Structures are given as C-alpha cells and as structure tokens.
Structure 1
Amino acid sequence: MTTRRKFLKTAGVGVAAAPLATPALAQSTITWRMQTYAGPALAEHVIDPAIKMFNQIAGDRMQIELFYADQLVPTGELFRAMQKGTIDAVQSDDDSMASPTEVTVFGGYFPFASRYSLDVPVLFNQWGLNEIWDEEYSKVGVKHISAGAWDPCHFATKDPINSLEDMKGKRIFTFPTAGRFLSQFGVVPVSLPWEDIEVAVQTGELDGIAWSGITEDYTVGWADVTNYFLTNNISGAWAGHFFANMDRWNELPEDLQTLFKVCCDQSHYYRQWWYWGGEANLRVNGTKMQLTTIPDEEWATVEQAAVKFWDEVAAESETKAKVVDIFKRYNAEMLKAGRPYRYG
C-alpha cells in the first residue's frame, strides 16, 4: 500500500518524473491537485489522456498535477479532502469516496440500474440525473462537473461460480452499495486499499473481486491471480464522475471551465469504446481466466432481489425516491423499445 508517509518521502521524485508534470511554470499559472480512484495501470486509460490533453492546451495558464489511488489521501477520504480544498478535483464514484449526499448510494454499481454503458450518460443528460447531482453537491460545496460510464460489474474469483450457492462465504472486494446488495446471497464484502487487492487474493485474504469487468482484470493484474470470470453481472456500467472544490471551480475563467469539461467528455468517450471493445475481446481471446455462467433462471432471482433493494433505498428519502423512479421509468421505456435497447 502507498501510505501517506511513504508518499511524502517520495512525492518529489515521483511528481518530477511524471509525464503529466510541467517543469517551468509562470508565476501566474493556476495549479490544481487532482486525485483519481484508479491506480497507475488503470489511470493510464481512464484519466491520464484527458489530463495530459488539458495541460497541453492550457499551457502556462493552468496545469493539473494528477495523483493516483491513495497517494494523497485514502479513497474513502477523497470527498472531505476536496470539500476542504486539500485536493482541488477528484475522479471517483460517489460511493467509493464516501460522499455525504443523498445520491451516494447510486454511485459506482447500483444493482441493475443499467444494462449498457450508454445507459449512464443518457440517464444523466436526458433523464434528469445531472440536475439532481448538481443540486446535491452544490449543497455541500462541491461542483459536480460530469458523469460517465465505466465497465460492468463481474466476479473474478479463484474458485468457479456456477450457481448462487457458490457465492456463499466468498470474501469479495467490492463497492459499499454492491456489497450491501450482494451480502443477502452470502457474499462477505471486504474493504481494502485498491493497491492491496492483488496481494490479498494471493494470500487468501480475498476469494475474489467484484469491482470491474474483464478489461480491468487484465489491465491491473487481477487476471493473474484469479482463475474464473463470471459472465453474469449486477450492473451494466459503473457510474463515475469528475468533481471539483466549488471555490476553486468558481475562480476559473469561463474558458478554462469549458476546457476542463471538454477534456472530461473526451475521457468519457475514450472509456466507452475502450471498455466495450475490451470486454468482448478478452472474453473471446483472453487466456488467463475461464468463463463461468449462472443459468438465467437462477440469475433471475438476483434481478428480482434488485427490485426489492431499489424500493428499500427509495424509502430512505425523497431524493432517493426520485432517482429510483427515474431508473424504473427509464428501464421500462428501454424494455418497450425492444432490441437493441432491451430484450429478454
């Protein structure tokens, strides 16, 4: 694990050597510190290109120093650090960064809220989620900049999962809300620093991971320590966001705000094709994990449990009820639309 103490000892070397660093800045250059939920291998795809693009275009006007998972603060403290201004911007889901808002439960993988990655931007841009997120984060001094989709949520495990019975007792690294949902099927959710996961699987502290799709399993090394990949998923796409401290955001000139938004959109677009193509390619051509599947009839009980879970969450507050209502209406419309939107 990259501890904060170790980071302070090595930060000077690491930042100076980082490709995103800019050696000589004008005195008037605006500088931000941004931390992502992702470790270096994953960040190479989910955030590095966008920040490199921003820094190249902004030049001496503004530069963003990018830090990876747990480098400045643990992921679970990202929200507080950003709210206080210790960190200027964050890439994460609401759930992982322990956001104290009414929408936190929907961040990351809310069970069966989406089937495909395109569902996420449609829900935010056409079905009203952007407005709800903007309102919730404005209340707590944080700017919600942009939402996008990542990969679906699958199990990668050391032992095969061919039935719901096989899930029982499995110690799984996953997101808080996903863990809360999966625990009813005997899954034991485990929370650990992101960089500790591979070793935890090797030592037996974890039986598997339900944190990503197969693209990330290969990219970050988890496919090297797990043997099986379950093709059933509990969500078609992770919902993640870009955020900024509200004061820092408001201090930016309008054109730099626009540039940051454009680079965020480029990041969302990159992930759309990187994950979509990667998931299919590695299922067909990957050699490190064997695919397993729980029969549709049995998996239907998990989908039915999700509907009950949605209702439980909706009962917790008016805002949560509003979001759940949008999910229900959206999925009902997709089902009526038929193929390729929904079927079965």
Structure 2
Amino acid sequence: MSKTLDRRRFLSGGAMAGAAAAATALATPAVAQSLPNVRWRLTSGFPNNLDTIYGGAVVMANAVRAITGGKFDIQVFQAGEIVPGPQAIDAVKANTVEITHTCGYYFTGKDPTFAIGSTIPFGLNGRLQNAWLYHGGGNEAYDEFLADYGVTGRPGGGTGAQMGGWYRKEINSLADLSGLKMRIAGVAGEVMSRLGVVPQQLPGGDIYPALERGTIDAAEWVGPYDDEKLGFHQIAPYYYYPAFWEGGLTIHFYINRDQYAGLPDEYKAALDTACKAANINMQALYDVKNKDAIRSLVSKGTQLRPLPRDVLDAAYKTSFELYEEYGQRYPAWAKIYPGWKKFRDEGFEWFRVAEYTYDSYNFAMQASGN
C-alpha cells in the first residue's frame, strides 16, 4: 500500500471522526454536557395499579428525564417498596429517599397544618386550590411550615371534588353515622369522629379486604375511576356524594430541602416545570376517566345518593369549630389559616358571580334534555 493512499485514508477517517464529534456537540448543548448526573429515588404514597394517581410521579420523572437528556433521573417506587406510606415524610427528611409523592393530610398526626396545603373539609375547589398555591401565597406559606420537617413542597396532582364514599347501608340522616366504622383520613377523620363515626386510616390497597370482612362499614378513596378499579361496588352498593372533605385535593411532591438546594439551577427549573405538568395532567385525566367510570358503575347497580343535608350542615359547623381549635393549639395553623380563609371567602364570592351561574344553567339545561 502506498504512503499516499495511507495518508488519504487517515485524513478521510479523521474527517469523519471530527464530523461525528461535531454533530454530537451540536446535538447536546455545551451547558448540558457540563451538568452532573443525578440519581434520585421517589417513594409514592400509592400502589402502582392506581395508574392515574400513582402515575403523577411517573409523568413528573419522565419529564425531568426528557428535559435534562437523561442526566437527572428519578426512579419511582410504589408505596411500601422502600418505606410504608405513613413514613414517607420522615424518609425524605432523613434522606433515605430524596422525594415522595403523597397527600399532606396523611401526616396530620404530626400537625394538622400538613392538610391545609392539600385539602381540608369545605375548602377550596380545584381551580381555587391552584390559584392559592401558585399565586395566592399558599406555596410560600406551606413551604415555610414544611421547612421544620426538612422538606420543600411542589403541587403534583389534582383530583377535583371527590366522592363521599361507599356504604353498606343507606345514610338517611345524621343519626345513621353513629358508630359507623369508616376508612377516612386526616382532618376529615376528626370531623367525622365528632359526628359519631369511628374513623380508620387505611392505605388504598387495604380498603377492599377490610370492607369485605366487615372490619369497616364504609370507605372513601377518590372517585369513580379509582373506586371502580378497587372494586368497592362489589361489596357496598351505596355511593354518596360529595366528599365535603376533599373539594379540590392537591397531591404534593415533598423534596428533601438540602437535596433540592444542591441541584443546579437548570435541574431545579426542570423539576419545578415537571411538577406543574404532573399537577395539570392528573386533573385532566381524572376528568376524562371519571365521566366514563360513573356511568359504568351505575350500569353495574351502584346506587348514587347525595349526602343528607343535616350531615353536611353538622359537618360544616364542626369543621370550622375545629379550625378555631387548631388555631389555639398549633402555631403553624394559626399563621396560615387566616390568609387561607380570606382567600377562600373572596374566591367563593367571585366564583358565585360567573362560574356558578354559568355551570348551574348549563347543568340544568343538559339534565332537562336540552
């Protein structure tokens, strides 16, 4: 082989290698190349068979991975795989995991203020909940409270107004709640206990067997789509509405504060954006899936019933009496609640003007067949 040919081949190969390297450099921005590889673990508060609520964490993790070109990777584990759901906040604080996706009201045993960031009885609807958290000072106030637990919070999923649960027997009046054993969590459990209910806090996967064995008489979870998947209609025929305790639940991502602070700014932006995407996406999915599931449940014999007015009235009075008590006992609650209540009252005044009248007219027309 001649030296000239060798030289041509060498130059040709070098040119091709240089072009490939240049293409790689153009495909991956220089800033992204300089960022570190970060691996986090997320413990969910939900089993993975509940694809919509558990899936909120998957949506977030996939978005973070895509935005960062795979350099920031969050692995999602279902409830119990790493730690039991009730230990999620402690696990994040201890850095056993860097992040969890769960409901704040699961941790009201520590402080009922955990619930105000997610939902409390007769609280905000889904739109007002987002408005308060994102632009009404809610995130800032909630985060200040969470700092004492070593975490920072990001909204990560909405369910809208939930259903009031499944009952083996009809509830015709407030008196029918006396002695009723019901799966219900958080502040709502305290309200219901003052109405005569014996509340039980059970994770989603344990509700069906407890209802089947008669350990509990009633149970609430989320709404038609999840409830049908869990099979409650096979045991308890009466399905009540609304869940006055969850008018607009926000599920949160709770993140270890030090781990979050240590992220590059680009990764913080990616994570915050992905959490917002998961928050919006979950609500939209439930609105699509619930409209079909409620029809399916009724076709299978489910008996829809509104909660009696005397139950709602008693629960309303009890709830706001309880909030006043919390203000005397819990400094964090006393700090956040007045601003939340003001936002709620003013938000309701506005929604009565346009949203309520628009919805009420349309619903009435549709119900009349027009």
- Letter of the aligned partner of 2:84 in structure 1? P
**Aligned with residue 76 of structure 1, among 61, 78, 86:** 86
> Do the aligned partners of 1:170 and 1:207 also contact (CA within 8 Å) in 2?
yes
Deviation at 1:233, TM superposition (A): 2.1
Whole-Å separation in 1 of the counterparts to 2:311 and 2:115: 26
Deviation per CA, 1:27-80: give whole Å up to 9, x if none.
Answer: x63111101111112244433222223233434412111011122111111111
Structure showing greater Rg: 2
**Aligned with residue 144 of structure 1, among 153, 157, 164:** 153
User: Who is 1:333 aligned against?
Assistant: 346
Richer in helix (by share): 2
Task: Find the residue that maps to 2:76 and give its secondary structure.
Answer: strand
Q: Is 2:280 the partner of 1:263?
A: no
Whole-Å separation in 2 of the counterparts to 1:193 and 1:336: 36
Assess, with a 3 A threshold, how the Cα gap between structure 1 residues 53 and 171 changes in structure 2: closer, same or farther: same
Deviation at 1:285, TM superposition (A): 4.7
CA-atom RMSD, angstroms?
A: 2.5
Assess, with a 3 A threshold, how the Cα gap between structure 1 residues 302 and 192 changes in structure 2: closer, same or farther: closer
Whole-Å separation in 2 of the counterparts to 1:266 and 1:244: 17
> Do the aligned partners of 1:124 and 1:147 also contact (CA within 8 Å) in 2?
no
Deviation per CA, 1:91-149: give whole Å up to 9, x if none.
Answer: 112221468457224254411112x2112111112321111112122233212233653
Q: Is 2:133 the partner of 1:124?
A: yes
**Aligned with residue 135 of structure 1, among 140, 144, 169:** 144
Whole-Å separation in 1 of the counterparts to 2:133 and 2:144: 13
Whole-Å separation in 2 of the counterparts to 1:313 and 1:340: 33
Whole-Å separation in 2 of the counterparts to 1:173 and 1:95: 14
Q: Is 2:69 the partner of 1:56?
A: no
Whole-Å separation in 1 of the counterparts to 2:203 and 2:268: 32
Task: Find the residue that maps to 2:220 and give its secondary structure.
Answer: strand
User: Who is 1:254 aligned against?
Assistant: 265
Assess, with a 3 A threshold, how the Cα gap between structure 1 residues 32 and 241 changes in structure 2: closer, same or farther: same
Q: Is 2:103 the partner of 1:90?
A: no
User: Who is 1:189 aligned against?
Assistant: 199
Aligned pairs, number: 316
Assess, with a 3 A threshold, how the Cα gap between structure 1 residues 87 and 239 changes in structure 2: closer, same or farther: same
Deviation at 1:268, TM superposition (A): 0.7
User: Who is 2:228 aligned against?
Assistant: 218
> Do the aligned partners of 1:127 and 1:326 also contact (CA within 8 Å) in 2?
no
Assess, with a 3 A threshold, how the Cα gap between structure 1 residues 30 and 53 changes in structure 2: closer, same or farther: same
Assess, with a 3 A threshold, how the Cα gap between structure 1 residues 59 and 271 changes in structure 2: closer, same or farther: same
Whole-Å separation in 1 of the counterparts to 2:275 and 2:120: 22
**Aligned with residue 42 of structure 1, among 32, 50, 53:** 50
- Letter of the aligned partner of 2:329 in structure 1? E
User: Who is 1:3 aligned against?
Assistant: none
Task: Find the residue that maps to 1:143 and give its secondary structure.
Answer: strand
> Do the aligned partners of 1:147 and 1:240 also contact (CA within 8 Å) in 2?
yes
Assess, with a 3 A threshold, how the Cα gap between structure 1 residues 272 and 162 changes in structure 2: closer, same or farther: same
**Aligned with residue 204 of structure 1, among 202, 214, 239:** 214
Task: Find the residue that maps to 2:205 and give its secondary structure.
Answer: helix
- Letter of the aligned partner of 2:272 in structure 1? K
> Do the aligned partners of 2:195 and 2:314 also contact (CA within 8 Å) in 1?
no
Whole-Å separation in 2 of the counterparts to 1:160 and 1:51: 42
Assess, with a 3 A threshold, how the Cα gap between structure 1 residues 312 and 268 changes in structure 2: closer, same or farther: same
Deviation per CA, 1:180-210: give whole Å up to 9, x if none.
Answer: 1111111111123432211111111122212
Assess, with a 3 A threshold, how the Cα gap between structure 1 residues 98 and 110 changes in structure 2: closer, same or farther: closer
> Do the aligned partners of 2:239 and 2:305 also contact (CA within 8 Å) in 1?
yes
**Aligned with residue 165 of structure 2, among 141, 152, 155:** 155
Whole-Å separation in 2 of the counterparts to 1:203 and 1:117: 34
Structure 1: state its 5+ residue gaps.
1-27
Q: Is 2:229 the partner of 1:239?
A: no
Deviation at 1:157, TM superposition (A): 2.1
Whole-Å separation in 2 of the counterparts to 1:121 and 1:42: 23
- Letter of the aligned partner of 2:94 in structure 1? K
TM-score of the aligned structures, taking structure 1 as reference length: 0.82
- Letter of the aligned partner of 1:129 in structure 2? G
> Do the aligned partners of 1:151 and 1:212 also contact (CA within 8 Å) in 2?
no
